Structure formats: C-alpha cells, structure tokens
Amino acid sequence: MRLKFVEPLLPTLVEKPPEGDEWIHEVKFDGYRSQIIIDHDVRIFTRNGHNWTAKYRDLAGAAKRLGVENAIIDGEIVVLNEAGLSDYQALRKAITSRQHDLYFVAFDLLHLNGHDLRDMDLEDRREILEGLILPDDRIQFSQALPGDAKAIFHLIDEAGLEGMVSKRRDSKYRSGRSTAWLKIKSYMVEEYDLLGVEREPGKPAFALMADRKTGEYVGSAFINSSRAIRERLWKRVQEHAGPAPKGMKRPATQWVKPGIIGRVKHLRGEEELRHASLQDFREEDHANSTKGSRSGNSAGPASPMKPSSSRSRSSRSVDRSPRSTAAKTMGKGPNS
C-alpha cells in the first residue's frame, strides 16, 4: 500500500527551556517543515500536506540514495548563509534557482520498511534514523546538543540562532500540537520606523512599525517601556502627527510623519513582529537615513553537517551545513 502523508507533530512555544534529563535538545532551524515519503518513488510534502517534490529535485535524489524500501522522515528544509545561520529569504530563492544549496535536516522517523514507528520512544526512533543517514549528503541528521538546557539555550542565543526545540526522550509521535515537544525561541532587538500609535481607552497601547529599508508594515509592538518614555513618545507622536500610510486603516490610531525610529525587542526568525515590545525610540539622523518609501503592505507569506567537496564553489572551504551549525554552537569543530 502506498504510504500517505502524516500530519506533523507540532511543538508548543514556551518562554524557558525545560529542566531535567528526560529531555533532548536540538537547534531550531528557520526553514520549511517538510516530510519525505519513500516507497515506489520519493515524494516531499510541505507541513500542510502539499506535494512539492518537483521543487526539491536534488533532495529527492538524496532520499533515493538512502537505500530503504519505504520510509517517512520528518524534518526541515533549510539554506545556510556564510555565518552558518539558516536563511529564510535565501531558502525561497534556492528553491527556484539554487537547488544545490538546499539541505533536509532529518529529526524523526515515522515509518521504516513496512513498520509504523510512531508508538516507539523518540530516542529509539532517532537512533534508527541516524543509522540511515549518509555522510556528506543533502539529507543530514539533527544532532541532539549535550549539556544543561539553560546553558544550551544561552549558547544558541549568543550564536544568533532562532532558538531550540526540546523533546521528551520517551515521546510517541502524535499528530497536532503537543507539549511533549517544546520550542524556545530567542529574542533580538532591531530598529524600525514608527508609523503610528494605536491607543484605546482601557487597553494597552501599541506602536505600529515598518521595515526601515522597504517601508512595509511588519507588525505592532506593545509599549511597555517606562512612564517617562511613554510620555515622551506620545508628545513626539502628537508633534509629528501625519496622514495614514497608503492602504492602512486602523482604529484609534494616531499616525505620524516619517522620522521616529523605535527599538523593538521581538522573537527571532519570524517574518513579522511577534511577541514584540517597544524598548525605546529616537529621532532619525537624516544624514544617514536609508529608509525606503512607506507602502503600507504586509510582508509576504539545526544540528551539525558538511557539504561534499563536489559542491564547493569557492577556494575557501566553508562548511555551511546544519551539522556545522550545531557544532559551532557548542564550541566544537564539525568533525570533533
């Protein structure tokens, strides 16, 4: 019987990593959650079950080289930049024009050679999966990171990675959202243009922010800074009052003219601002302004490894694989 797509197990977002030896921890890559199904042929599905095999020709070829009769493998499709960080924007381009930059980071095995493995413990499923993975190929195994969860997360945050995923060693594979898998995302602080402030009586105030280069709306940030900063901000907003950006309509919003820049703390690895808060703001230095026009449009929609020498396109040997990412995070070389 032809194997069918399995709805993925989805981790629950939490603020802090779990404690205890019953958890394993992996790097969270910023890519496309995907599922490889091998039986009479190879099919690669998106998280929502769409067949994207035609878009992943090189990865389908790598799946054939695993030499299994049939299998269902859960993982993430990624592209890494020069710094070894997963690059979501580069991933979109690679799908259409740079297939050789794509990696599939495999982290779970649901089915193998006629056997449904979803009722096995995660640790046992991963042990079998690791034994299938070929060295230096486009499919790589998501290594568990050793050590204390808090220390691991600190290193991941310092390395500029999106976050980590913690999984119970004995967890079974159950489709849908689960607390047996937890994702902990790191935060970053960036500057954005202030479009306006949304303020309704009895409700929290939010700063509406835009990308500094494109002028596109990227989301709102909760204004939880000190009272002095809030009062200073509202004074500036009233002084710089202006029209709404083209195409934007929000209730109870005081729009502002260009020139106010906000420092926003937000989750790393999101296309739009999420869990964001305004930390402070400043006036724009017009001499160094790099801001684009305001369009008012929304933005659109780890563990260690090494590419084969045949893929090298530079005189410098740069390891951009997921295995290398995890190894660097833990302060080790990719071959240690």
pLDDT tens-digit readout, 142-201: 999 999 999 999 998 888 888 999 999 999 999 999 999 999 988 888 999 999 999 888
pLDDT of 99 > 70? The answer is yes
| % of the chain at pLDDT higher than 70 | 85
Considering the chain, what is the average pLDDT of its residues?
85
- Measured distance CA(147)–CA(19) in Å, rounded: 11
- Measured distance CA(212)–CA(235) in Å, rounded: 22
Instruction: Just list the catalytic residues.
Output: 28
266: helix, strand or coil: strand
What tens digit of pLDDT does each residue of 4-52 get?
999 999 999 998 999 999 999 999 988 999 999 999 999 999 999 999 9
Q: Which domains does the chain have, with CATH numbers?
A: 9-185 (3.30.470.30), 187-288 (2.40.50)
Residues 328 and 51: beta-carbon distance below 8 Å: no
Residues 195 and 294: beta-carbon distance below 8 Å: yes
- Measured distance CA(214)–CA(48) in Å, rounded: 30
- Measured distance CA(195)–CA(204) in Å, rounded: 17
pTM exceeding the 0.75 threshold for the entire prediction? no
More confident site: 309 or 12:
12
Q: For the CA atoms of the chain, what is the radius of gyration?
A: 23
Q: Which pLDDT value is given to residue 79?
A: 92
Q: Which pLDDT value is given to residue 35?
A: 99
Residue of 6, 98, 88, 99 whose CA lies nearest to 56: 99
DSSP for 130-181, written as a single string: HHHPPTTSSEEE-PPPPS-HHHHHHHHHHTT--EEEEEETT----SEEEEEE
